[in-house]
Structure 1
Amino acid sequence: LLVDLQMPVMDGYAATARIRELEGGLSSKASENSGSACRVPIIALTAHAMASDEQKCKGVGMDAYLTKPLNLEELTKTM
């Protein structure tokens, strides 16, 4: 899932936190039912190029951080 950090209604940080929260609930239910829940890979795609932004992305559960303009080779390698 590619998320921009600046989106209308809910930014990428909040969206990622919510997804991870929902996944936590699914993991609990999967454990109860002896199944397995999957984790959605989330990649930040942003014009923000500060180290603190990347750390914040990782802190809310994003798996990778890419800056705009998007480099297709880098995106492919990240995925």
Structure 2
Amino acid sequence: MDGLAATKKVRALEAEFAQEHKDEAGGNMRIPIVGLSADIQQTTKESCIKAGMDEYMTKPLLTKGLALLIQRYCCN
């Protein structure tokens, strides 16, 4: 399973869980998914976002960019 397929599966499971637990706290939780690839083509990024990824980063991975991304999703 590649990253696109895995992302689609996670999003489908989230939707199923949200439907089953819509009246409960946390029933609409969303797991942040970040694509990471050496491919810098815009079409690759668009495919990742369309599949349900929240962000897309390219290699080489810059530490500062990763730290900001983690802060955005984990500290808010």
TM-score, normalised via structure 1 length: 0.82
TM-score by length of 2: 0.85
- 1:78 maps to 69
Within 5 A, what are the aligned runs for 1:37-52? 37-52=28-43
Matched residues, number: 68
Identity of aligned residues (%): 35
Q: What value does the CA root-mean-square deviation take over the aligned residues? A: 0.8
Offset of residue 12 of structure 1: 0.3
Which 4+ residue blocks in structure 1 deviate beyond 2 angstroms? none
Deviations 1:18-77 (A, max 9, x none): 00000010010111xx11231100000111110000111100100000001111111111
- 5+ residue gaps, structure 1: 1-9
Mapped partners of 2:53, 2:21: distance in 1: 22
Which has more helix, going by share of residues?
Answer: 2
Match of 2:21 in 1: 30
